[in-house]
Amino acid sequence: MKKTIYKSFIQEFLKFFFLSLFALTLIVWIMQAVNYLDFVSEDGHGFKVYFTYTILSLPKILSRLMMFVFFVSLFYSLHKMEEKNELIIYWINGIKKTSVKRFIISLSLIFLLFQLLFNTFITPKSQDTARSYLRDSNIDFFPSLIKEKKFIDIVSDLTIFVEKKYNDGSFENIFLKEYNNNSKYQIIFAKKGKIKTEKNNIYLELINGKIIDRVNDEEKIISFDSTIFNLSKYQTKTITQQKIQEVNSFFLFNCIKNLKENKSIEYLNINRAAHQLKCNNEITKTFYEELFKRIVYPFYIPLLGVIASLVLLDAKNTYNYSIKKIYLFLLGFAVIVFGEISVKYTGENLQSNLNFILVPLLLFLIVNIFFNIKSQKI
């Protein structure tokens, strides 16, 4: 009978959990997708590139929402069962409130493992894959980006200007300026030009013009009847450098461990690509913060579970029942906010690290003791 009762509770909880998680994830994802539309119109990539990029951002959204949705779903399920007098079935069948609390803690531990899996492996990998996809993709939106009588500099190291643009992808009176460094650049003037594609590469065919090469203070002018300018080699100004959220968890851990023990970090950086973050003392705090967020923060979930279980202590006909439930919900929300804020101070000193770890642990013990004492008096 107990298994049937718990199974019914799990079904009710999971139904609300997945529905809420899906709804909130969809809302956040759509909001992000709308922001990414600016990239499509201003950054030179096609819709396919940024649609793929937004899809790969879903694990990040899920990992950020999972803890909050877990608490809300658990709180709602228990509250709903109390409102419908369904908890009486538990008590009639000899199920103690402390047993339900232990069951909820066990459920919390399962979700903790899922949160750890997302935080340490799935989310960083998907974020890094998204960044790599964006970095390696060609700019395929040049025709729509180029406007008449307007300087276009959405790509790195290149400025484009055309006086006349036609629907067939051809242009008149074209100006190109390519920057190599402060002392070297190339300017191209052409009377006519046309966008051409070949094997996923984009070229600008230029007709009847001049090329001005400038190195230091010397200029070299070359006239041409026809030449090809490769547009595919340019990247947009989108940030392609790896962010801390995309770094492998093992690399984070090894970096912090070696720096703390004053060991060599050269072997960690030797195979790192130019766009990848390197292990160094300057970003130690950032690495600490990210590692705590991934590994320690999920351990707040059991605390949220035991806070939600406090709903079991009062029946709906008790004094100030509704107010107590509001206070409990606010307490759980405050724990989440505390975790989000305090994790930003990890890595500064030992005290801040201990606060982030010990405060939720102490709260977990206090709430557990309070629950056990209160349930014996009822």
pLDDT for residue 67: 95
Tell which residue, 369, 352, 360, 371, has the closest CA to residue 298: 360
Q: Is the dihedral of CA 328, 333, 336, 341 positive or negative?
A: negative
| Mean pLDDT (whole number) for 189-204 | 80
- Which one is predicted more confidently, 162 or 168? 162
pLDDT for residue 40: 58
Q: Is the dihedral of CA 13, 18, 24, 25 positive or negative?
A: positive
Q: Tell me, yes or no, whether 307 and 270 share the same domain.
A: yes
Kindly indicate the confidence band of residue 275, based on its pLDDT and cuts at 50, 70 and 90. low
The dihedrals phi and psi of 171, each to the nearest 5 degrees, come to -135, 160
- Which one is predicted more confidently, 153 or 294? 294
Q: Tell me, yes or no, whether 113 and 178 share the same domain.
A: no
Q: Tell me, yes or no, whether 91 and 223 share the same domain.
A: no
Q: Look at residues 205, 230, 255 and tell me which one is the last residue of a structural domain.
A: 230
- Which one is predicted more confidently, 19 or 219? 19
Kindly indicate the confidence band of residue 240, based on its pLDDT and cuts at 50, 70 and 90. low
For residues 101 and 371, the answer to whether their CB atoms sit within 8 Å is yes
3-class secondary-structure state, position 227: strand
Beta-carbon count within 10 A of 218 CB? 7
Tokens at residue 35, please?
């922001």
Q: Tell me, yes or no, whether 282 and 372 share the same domain.
A: yes
Judge whether residue 237 has pLDDT over 70. no
Kindly indicate the confidence band of residue 117, based on its pLDDT and cuts at 50, 70 and 90. very high
Domain count, the chain: 2
Helical segments of 57-209, H only:
58-83, 87-92, 97-117, 123-136, 142-145
Cα–Cα distance between 314 and 17 in angstroms, integer? 24
Judge whether residue 239 has pLDDT over 70. no
Q: Look at residues 199, 230, 261 and tell me which one is the last residue of a structural domain.
A: 230
Q: Could you read off the pLDDT of 282-313 as tens digits, one per residue? A: 777 888 888 888 999 999 999 999 999 998 88
For residues 81 and 311, the answer to whether their CB atoms sit within 8 Å is no
Q: Tell me, yes or no, whether 133 and 263 share the same domain.
A: yes
Per-chain mean pLDDT for the chain: 83
Cα–Cα distance between 326 and 73 in angstroms, integer? 15
Q: Tell me, yes or no, whether 124 and 271 share the same domain.
A: yes
Q: Look at residues 177, 209, 230 and tell me which one is the last residue of a structural domain.
A: 230
